[in-house]
Structure 1
């Protein structure tokens, strides 16, 4: 039997949550049954390319300088599909979704779109384009119940909308004391110091200024605590300026973009997330799998994972004082902190494993090949 050929289309292959999932899911897919292709458009955002190729994927960059030029690449994508006998196209994030819908109108190839966010948070132009074009595809998948709800309420699509919750490789993302020791030595963090951390792309959505404000309050109450703020992005200069403004250079470490995130998670005791909005954040699932104690805002799908007072602590979006207060309480109560850490991993292992996610996606692909994909789930 010939393998089913899946083409993933995504704007870039940088280190965002949607992008990171592609090589991780590929490692668990049944590649004797599927052949996976990937097209991306921003050549300077290619951090995931090597990981995908090493896992067995076929990656192609069709260069585009911006969103509008990306939409002009439909002929090249259609040509690629014909040359490689693609059976199903799977698009991620809005502009790749728009392109996929154009391809769908001009071919008979079924197009699936994964929605990683909620409609309410998109720019008005993106929301309008989404609403006008959404039915020009075969199916939509929400990465959280909140993402699916938002599509159903705001777009009211005529196509099926399924929910496939994001997952994490719980075998890979396990706490490792040797890695923790290495990171702490590298950044001169005392072995017994409590570390508050975050791993994120520095963009508006993540509300990193709120994170820094919260850490400042924690630092005033607990000067012995260290911070690890791992990542890079468009807000990087602003973040560095805020760290300097608040005189946190000695206690808040910015290691930049890192590929071995598991090592940094191992060194983090409390994973504090200040996001203004989310789909179902991969970094959160990874942190919980790594037994980090979670303090987070109630952004999007976060509330589908973190149960306040059971496996973490939650605050309203924008309430950095609440983040500081709940983190401080856990610094002062190591027994409760340990309870949350154990419960966090148990929650992810039982409900958000990557294998479960891969199995559900493969089920959808098989249904498409049989022509059985007509119901919302």
Structure 2
């Protein structure tokens, strides 16, 4: 079985992590190649993982000259399946499908496609429309988590063309990180974080990530607990808006924007409680990355997160947008600090058992077999 994966190559979120974790295990059971459309961090990480990858550069997002080049590779190298990831690859895949006959085209839906470009108006109008147009042309769909299945069906897709595949993490790999003091000292004076409970949120600074919810909850906690600080790691278009929020709440000595974080494990090793405050998610990798270090997690009740976090049993959930609910969950942990460690261990145990990269690759292989048998 030969599978060609297409992805933009500029990905920095869950899609990037998903395809690296998936292909690092999948390459042992299928012959695969990744083609992306730009050089960058994604390309370097894939190469370092020992995965076959080529770059066919586009001069712009709408440069369709790459279509003929990819079509030639598909025919010359005899790929059985073309598997796309993300809006740009879907757009290319739509045109590629016109040239490649009798081969199944699959796309993995990593997020809510109506919210992917929410922060930039013209992208929200143009790219969202083009992505949904492209999605309707695919033969089969892989939904990252159960919550997106109804969304995909809303495009007019039959349920028998949709497969469920949870994100998986490679818990067997060696994780490298610097110690807490070394990492935090790059951003903060030691007296700011010394002997403090550290609550963190690592995400891109986009509206959908609900960082306003995180800051509002921090405002409640900061008034009652002087020994707690809040860290936000990531970059994005909401940076100035979030800085303004922090100023308005007078939280400059309690809530800190750290900017882009190169190694997520440096961040997760330095916090005590991991928070996901998003308005929408599928199955965020930041939870799995944090569980690898046995970090306790509080998350908004989004996507398939409740399939991992059982509220009050191995972590906490709160309703989307409910900053008071988030603050209440944080307060429970601050009043019973033993739960922080206990929940972290329990969550890590469940993640390792059910959401490993090995399980993900095995399920993806079965999906490929099912699709080829239908062909």
> Which TM bucket (shorter chain)?
0.7 to 0.9
Q: 2:106 aligns to what?
A: 112
CA contact (8 A) 2:84 2:108 kept: yes
CA contact (8 A) 1:280 1:300 kept: yes
Query: In the aligned structure 2, how far is the partner of 1:343 from the partner of 1:138?
Result: 39
Query: In the aligned structure 2, how far is the partner of 1:373 from the partner of 1:234?
Result: 44
TM-score (norm 2): 0.86
SS in 2 for 1:62: coil
Q: 1:173 to 1:312 in 2, by over 3 A?
A: farther
Residue 12 of structure 2: which of 3, 12, 15 is its match? 15
Query: In the aligned structure 1, how far is the partner of 2:154 from the partner of 2:313?
Result: 30
Query: In the aligned structure 2, how far is the partner of 1:70 from the partner of 1:298?
Result: 39
TM-score (norm 1): 0.85
Q: 2:283 aligns to what?
A: 280
User: Is 1:58 matched with 2:53?
Assistant: yes
Alignment of 1:280-299 (within 5 A): 280-299=283-302
Farther-moved stretch of structure 1 (141-150 vs 88-97) = 88-97
Query: In the aligned structure 2, how far is the partner of 1:361 from the partner of 1:70?
Result: 30
Q: 1:274 to 1:86 in 2, by over 3 A?
A: same
Q: 1:271 aligns to what?
A: 274
Q: 2:120 aligns to what?
A: none
Could you tell me how far 1:18 is from its partner in structure 2?
0.6
Q: 1:65 to 1:125 in 2, by over 3 A?
A: closer
Number of aligned residue pairs: give it. 363
User: Is 1:27 matched with 2:28?
Assistant: no
User: Is 1:227 matched with 2:224?
Assistant: no
Could you tell me how far 1:151 is from its partner in structure 2?
1.6
Query: For 1:299-331, what per-residue CA distance to the aligned partner results, in whole angstroms no more than 9, with x for missing partners?
Result: 112222211111111111111121112112211
User: Is 1:301 matched with 2:304?
Assistant: yes
User: Is 1:169 matched with 2:170?
Assistant: yes
Q: 1:87 aligns to what?
A: 80
Query: In the aligned structure 2, how far is the partner of 1:315 from the partner of 1:21?
Result: 25
CA contact (8 A) 2:115 2:208 kept: no
Could you tell me how far 1:180 is from its partner in structure 2?
3.1
Alignment of 1:1-377 (within 5 A): 4-31=1-28, 33-40=30-37, 46-56=40-50, 57-66=52-61, 69=62, 73-108=66-101, 109-118=103-112, 121=115, 133-134=134-135, 136-157=137-158, 160-172=161-173, 179-186=179-186, 187=188, 188=190, 190-368=193-371, 371-373=372-374
CA contact (8 A) 1:273 1:296 kept: yes
Q: State the Cα RMSD in Å.
A: 2.8
Could you tell me how far 1:131 is from its partner in structure 2?
6.1
CA contact (8 A) 2:5 2:32 kept: no
Q: Which runs of 5 or more structure 2 residues have no equivalent in the other structure?
A: 117-123
SS in 1 for 2:41: coil
CA contact (8 A) 1:137 1:159 kept: no
Query: In the aligned structure 2, how far is the partner of 1:322 from the partner of 1:350?
Result: 29
Could you tell me how far 1:11 is from its partner in structure 2?
3.0
Q: 1:331 to 1:235 in 2, by over 3 A?
A: same
Could you tell me how far 1:275 is from its partner in structure 2?
0.4
Farther-moved stretch of structure 1 (210-219 vs 346-355) = 210-219
Could you tell me how far 1:38 is from its partner in structure 2?
2.2
CA contact (8 A) 1:175 1:265 kept: no
